Amino acid sequence: MLRETLLRVWICWMLSFVLLWGVKSAGAHSCHEVKTAFQLRQIGPLKWVPETAATGTELQICKHQGPTCCTRKMEESYHAAAHRDTLQSILSYNLELKYLILGHATEFQDTFHSLLSFTLNHTISLLDMAYKPIAHEARPLVSALFSDLALYLRGDDEVSVTQSVRHFYNELFLLVYRYLLNPGLASSPWSSEGAECLRATRQDLDPFGAHPRELARGLERVLGVGRSLMQALTVGVEVLNATESLGLAKDCGRALVRMQYCPHCRGLTLIRPCQGLCLHVMRGCLAGLAELQSHWRNYIALLEGTSAALAGGHELEITLLGIRERINDAILTAQLRGPQLSALVEKVCGPLTESTHESPTTNTTQSPTVSVQNSSVESVPSPSPTAENKTEEHHITRRKRSLPLKASKHDKPRSVRRISREFMGYIQGYKTFFLTLPESLCESELVGDEHTCWNGEDVVESNAGNGIGNDLQAQIENPEIKVRRMDPVLIEAKQRLEKFNQEMFAEMGLDVEPYKHVDVGSGYSPEISGDCDDEDGCEASGEDEVQPEIVRFSPSLEASTGVMNSSSLLLLFSLLFLLHHLLHTS
């Protein structure tokens, strides 16, 4: 009997010891998972993470009454990591849009260059085939004209299409008058006064008819659209670059830590923020970007307008390829008016050569072969301006024009129309880029589809946050973050975008009114998702996907600190089984 009494006392003492040990062990919660997450996310040195949870730690952000796995140094590291990761996420979305803009800008530029090179070569081939007497000296003029057109397309403010075309035809008139209308003049040196007189009187004489004016108008119209598009693409990249240097406010960084890393302090490394919490934090942090939205939407409308102008037909290609035809028609017009032009030039400018004993009229009857032999171009018979062979010369030139403009199918540049339509299809999806950026960031990685989530203080079943807008004014009602002012970098980007839109809409004659009804304040529309309430029925069901395992913890970490671990339970059950066996045996 005494033996049984002593045995019972010993077993009770052991049970008490195990229970006390289990409670004490539970109070010393392991921070192993927190340390693992700290290492995997490269937040900071592992030595800053304690082995077990402790109380009384003076935290500034993740304050909690119970045991915590965080220290002040960990909070600082969490703050830096949250700031870094958020900017990196914004950068990734920016890069996607920048790649779209820069890629198409390069393709547009390459296509414009191909078209200009293609037309330049075939314009020079026209001169080589049909107008050999002037071909050699006309080559630099043609090259200079196309060089100016390329500079104009790239946005050079010092280049004027009208002035470049006028200069080209002024210089071309000297060659046409000397080598084609009066080939005898090629054997005598020209006076500088005579050459300058020809240039000055070219527009009054109008030797080329309306062809120079029509060419200038056509080029200015179609190249102006391409120029505007290239300028718009450049401005868009500048604005996106400005957003990449965005500085997050101090309150934003603290809110990000509360949202993303404060659960770690309680050992909840797998829980994700509630959608309402994430949207409030991100809208507060990115309120300055939302202020760009109205101007950004107008900017996208500008891109659509210029792209549509290029995609409406093949006008750009037709106009550029038509340069060759315009030049040919202009020379033909001058040749048909040769005698009349020679008479007018003689009256207005007088002798054009330094030796005055020969008149231009006499020189026109000289052999063209002799005059060409004394010139710097190849010795080939040139057409005579006499009336009897003008019809034959006109027929030959027209036959030359019927030759194909491309040497081979591999020289054909890609259609501007096709590129424009492709670009329009892509860019339309970015009309609300800055407005929906908070939603995009929350839906990408931060917010999960689980039924439980972190609301900033605890694990809850659902979170029905109050709906707030995205702009600065709406942040007055933001419960998570206080936004005081807009970043100076974003203010400058906003002003740059607004000014550009106004100038380009006026220049292109596009209507900005349809794009002014942008609701930046609410952030809730059928096209974009706002806060998800229980009444909306948007709670994730998880039936179609395998959800990550989420263990529900009470606010005071009861699951971690109030329940014994598996080894304690095993020992306790073993002792209970032994006691039961002894009692029944006795």
DSSP assignment of 78-146 equals HHHHHHHHHHHHHHHHHHHHHHHHHHHHHHHHHHHHHHHHHHHHHHHHHHHHH-HHHHHHHHHHHHHHH
Q: How confident is the model at residue 20 (pLDDT cuts 50, 70, 90)?
A: very low
- pLDDT of residue 525 exceeding 70, the answer is no
Angle in degrees, 0-180, between the axes of helices 132-153 and 161-175, rounded to the nearest 10: 170
The four Cα atoms 197, 202, 203, 206 give a dihedral, to 10 degrees, of 140
Residue with tokens 């033909």: 332
Answer whether residue 14 is part of any domain. no
- pLDDT of residue 40 exceeding 90, the answer is no
| pLDDT single digits (tens) 250-304 | 889 999 999 999 999 988 888 888 888 888 999 999 988 989 999 999 999 999 9
Q: Where are the alpha helices (DSSP H) in 274-313?
A: 275-285, 287-290, 293-311
Task: Retrieve residue 388's tokens.
Answer: 């009897």
Answer whether residue 513 is part of any domain. no
More confident residue, 12 or 308: 308
Residue 125 CB partners (closer than 8 Å, separation 6+): none
What length is written for the chain? 586
pTM over the 0.75 mark: no
Average pLDDT of span 413-431? 87
Q: What confidence score (pLDDT) does residue 26 get?
A: 38
Answer whether residue 65 is part of any domain. no
Cβ pair 290, 434 in contact under 8 A: yes
Q: What confidence score (pLDDT) does residue 15 get?
A: 41
Most confident of 68-72, 315-319, 330-334, 352-356: 330-334
- Other Cβ atoms less than 10 A from the Cβ of 30: the count is 16
Q: What confidence score (pLDDT) does residue 407 get?
A: 35
Answer whether residue 20 is part of any domain. no
Most confident of 126-135, 388-397, 557-566: 126-135
DSSP characters over 214-253: HHHHHHHHHHHHHHHHHHHHHHHHHHHHHHHTPPPPHHHH
| pLDDT single digits (tens) 236-247 | 999 999 888 777
**Rounded (to 5) percent helix, strand, coil in the chain:** 65, 0, 30
Range of the domain at 113: 80-434+484-508
- pLDDT of residue 176 exceeding 90, the answer is yes
Q: How confident is the model at residue 367 (pLDDT cuts 50, 70, 90)?
A: very low
Average pLDDT of span 142-153? 96
SS3 333: helix
Residue 304 CB partners (closer than 8 Å, separation 6+): 424, 427, 428
More confident residue, 289 or 351: 289
| pLDDT single digits (tens) 56-105 | 668 888 887 888 899 889 999 999 999 898 989 889 999 999 999 999 99
**Largest Cα–Cα separation, the chain:** 157
CB-facing half-sphere around the CA of 215: CA atoms within 13 A = 27
- Other Cβ atoms less than 10 A from the Cβ of 308: the count is 14
Average pLDDT of span 322-344? 93
Q: What confidence score (pLDDT) does residue 461 get?
A: 80
Mean pLDDT of the chain: 74
Residue with tokens 């002593």: 6
Cβ pair 433, 97 in contact under 8 A: yes
Q: How confident is the model at residue 433 (pLDDT cuts 50, 70, 90)?
A: very high
Answer whether residue 549 is part of any domain. no
- pLDDT of residue 25 exceeding 50, the answer is no
Cβ pair 284, 252 in contact under 8 A: yes
Answer whether residue 584 is part of any domain. no
Answer whether residue 376 is part of any domain. yes
Instruction: Please name which of 108, 120, 315 lies closest in space to residue 227, comparing C-alpha atoms.
Output: 108
- Please tell me the least confidently modeled range out of 10-19, 34-43, 174-183, 467-476: 10-19
Answer whether residue 323 is part of any domain. yes
Q: What confidence score (pLDDT) does residue 581 get?
A: 47
Average pLDDT of span 9-22? 43
Q: What confidence score (pLDDT) does residue 465 get?
A: 55
Count of the separate structural domains present in the chain: 1
